[in-house]
Structure 1
């Protein structure tokens, strides 16, 4: 593509992909010159992509040195999951009593597609994207665009953090997507059992307290 915006998007997407794949590991240093040569583009789209990557917390600008790939800690991941728990629990409470037959049809259709993906040997990123789509679909039913965007951003950060911790294992393992908890959430909502839907959501997110009981939000 020839226009400046699309070139920026190409550079942005390529850097994200390489961070997730481990091509650019945590604390790796990128430079404008390196990316300009790699993509055979001018400085402007590369600089715009780097600015956006810094704004999103993927990179950190180090003046007169380059751009460092942000390293995540296990504490970062725990905080992201806790944040997701607050957002998604709120969304379920907001929409649980007003879901329509059309809403459940959308959810059921998505679960059918998930089942098909679960029995295929896809890369981990494809399975994660399916997981993201389910949680964003649930969130969208609350009709709060700000929460939707924050949840999407949080899950993108979570993917990058997981990739840093676990990419070697993911890359060598055939991942089978478990959609059982997603089904259980939808079934609980269909029964208008909000507490059960919240319990399974917390289980799906891995939100458990030290006693082994689900964390409360």
Structure 2
């Protein structure tokens, strides 16, 4: 694996700080504060912030700084509707060609999703890996890239909307549909697999309330 350059280090760090709610929605981040924090020159700091602006994470406000773009419950609903169409549609397309080897890999990912951990971000990454692997059975790399982007944005939205609920997040309960999806696929029950996938997506975040 290649070593990250300074821009990538700053980019990942700022993004993780948004995911962890260190930087809250609408908060202003300045180049000066990041230069002081990391001890790097202005160039990699600005490059990282510019990249985050291009991806819709930050908004450049001249003579002020970079504002963390706020996501709303309506944004979350639209992203979940998109995931519903994308993931169920792809499952229908590839259902008859799914192999036992592929299902065993998904079993492993599902087990990781249910493992005991207090790291909510680690859990979310396992969950994202499961859904991307399920979608990848359709052989469409573009769709997988779009799903990953959508799930990253959902994570950011959830961190903003429910930052005070992390300590009450019920990790194992949040993944209860994964095994049901895989069992239905093994038993060649397409509509049941689609049903459980929809339930899994509709269950987004409700285990924390």
1:148-187 superposed matches below 5 A: 148-170=144-166, 172-173=167-168, 175-178=170-173, 179-187=175-183
Q: Provide the residue aligned with 2:105 in structure 1.
A: 106
Gaps of 5+ in 1: 208-217
Q: Does 1:8 align with 2:3?
A: no
Structure 2 SS opposite 1:22:
coil
TM-score w.r.t. the length of structure 2 is 0.90
Contact 1:121–1:175 (CA under 8 A) maintained in structure 2? no
Counterparts of 1:1-217 in structure 2, within 5 Å, are: 6-115=5-114, 117=115, 120-170=116-166, 172-173=167-168, 175-178=170-173, 179-206=175-202
**Within 2, Cα distance between the matches of 1:39 and 1:122?**
27
TM superposition shift of 1:174: 5.6
Superposition deviation, residue 105 in structure 1? 1.7
Secondary structure at the counterpart of residue 192 of structure 1: coil
State the TM-score, normalizing by the size of structure 1. Answer: 0.87
Task: Give distance in 1, aligned partners of 2:154 and 2:176.
Answer: 21
Say whether the 8 Å CA contact 2:132–2:144 is kept in structure 1. yes
The alignment's C-alpha RMSD in Å is 1.6
Total equivalences in the alignment: 200
Unaligned stretches of 5+ residues in structure 2: 204-209
Secondary structure of 1:41 counterpart: coil
Post-superposition offset of 1:104: 1.5
Q: Give the match for residue 206 of structure 2.
A: none
- 8 Å contact from structure 1 (residues 122, 175) kept in 2: no
